[in-house]
Every structure is written in C-alpha cells, then in structure tokens.
Amino acid sequence: MNIGILGSAVVAQTLAAGFLKHGHDVMLGTRNPGKLGEWRSTHPQARVGGFADAAAFGEVVVLAVKGSAAADALRQAGAAALAAKVVVDTTNPIADAPPDHGVLKFTTSLGESSMERLQREFGAVRFVKAFNSVGAALMVNPKLAGGPPSMFVCGNDQAAKQVVKGILDQFGWETVDLGTVEAARAIEPLCMLWCIPGFLSNDWSHAFKLLR
C-alpha cells in the first residue's frame, strides 16, 4: 500500500521504517522536510513532503503528530484529501504540564477523547485508533518474553479496522477491537498507564496483553 505519514518525529520515523520493511511505499509529511535529511539518507526509498503531499499520497494515512497539533495537522493535510481514507490515529492528548508522580496529564476528560473530537470535525475520515498505547521502540515487531502483545484499536468503520488489523498482523501484534470511536476514551489513557513504570523506574520495555 501507499502509506502517508503525517509527522516527522520518532513515531513517524519508526512506523515509516516498519512499513518500508514490510514492502509498503511511504511518504512522510512535515512542515519542514529539511529536518528529515539525515533520516532520509538511511531510508532512501522513503519520500518526504508537506502534510498535504503525504495525505494525497497515502491510501492509508498515519497521524503521528503532537496531540495538541492533531486537528491542525489534519487541516493542513486537507479534509478533501483525507475523505474516505483510513487514518490511523497514533496520537495522545498529552498536556504540556509535567507528569504528576509519573502520571501524565491529558487535555481531554474521561467523557470525551481526542479521536472523538477529530471524528466530529473530519466526518468523512475513517479514523482508527492504534499504536498510541506503546512506546515507539516497540511498535514494529516487538520481541517480548510474554509473546505478541495486544494492540487495542477502535473506530466507527469496520472495513477500516480490518485494514489496520492487516498492518498490525504484519507488525507482530494481536489486534483487540474495542468498538466505536467512543472507546478511545479508554484507549487513549492507556498511554498514561504505559508511561508510569517509565517515569518511576525508567522501565519502558513492556506492552499490554489481553489474557483470556
């Protein structure tokens, strides 16, 4: 598939490398393509452009920008270019304030997630929440003693979630579909939970697994 990635930082770069490894074509979108010069020299197959270029390129688009910039980045990408496309939302609505005893602060409440806000503004986009509840270093084919971890996903479009499940299969994850966009109220705060051992004990090498 052609994958457009909105973002240029660690998540964008990590997922881009993963998509390339699994045979997809990738374009990263950023406000400043020059900043990816060094990364590009080690990933010459990847394309780099603006947000609108990456959105137009992608059959599937990955949203991997700072949480507070998510809506802005999508506006810059262009609602028309994104209409009907699968947009994998990796973002977390982390506030600028520092963590409190290892617990991140969010800009959202338990009654309304960031992805619900995005879905309301960009009604024609087929958002799927994924990749937000694990650190970038473990996003692609993680090797953990406990076996393949679970990726919690949600979104309103069943076919879009199947597309994302296909990606997660390639990336070595078990997909756990938690339903519609409202489930992002629970999936986004998993980022807070995931980060606590990191902030308290510098332990970042874990992922969630749903046991049955």
Which residues lie near ligand NAP (CB under 6 A)?
7-12, 30-32, 64-67, 69, 72-73, 90-92, 94, 132, 135-136
Residue 46 CB, nearest distance to ligand NAP (Å)?
Answer: 14
Torsion sign over Cα 13, 15, 17, 20 = negative
DSSP structure class, residue 137: G
Q: Are 88 and 60 in contact (CB under 8 A)?
A: yes
Cβ distance to ligand NAP smaller for residue 71 or 212 = 71
Structure tokens at 5: 């990635």
Nearer to ligand NAP, 94 or 184 (CB): 94
Contact 67, 9 (CB under 8 A): no
Task: In angstroms, give the least distance from the CB of 72 to ligand NAP.
Answer: 4
Q: Of 64 and 163, which has the nearer Cβ to ligand NAP? A: 64
Nearer of residues 86 and 138 to ligand NAP, judged by Cβ: 138
CB of 83 to ligand NAP, least distance (A): 20
CB of 32 to ligand NAP, least distance (A): 5
CA distance 131 to 96: 21
Whose tokens are 């496309």? That residue is 85
Backbone angles phi, psi at 135, to 5 degrees: -70, 155
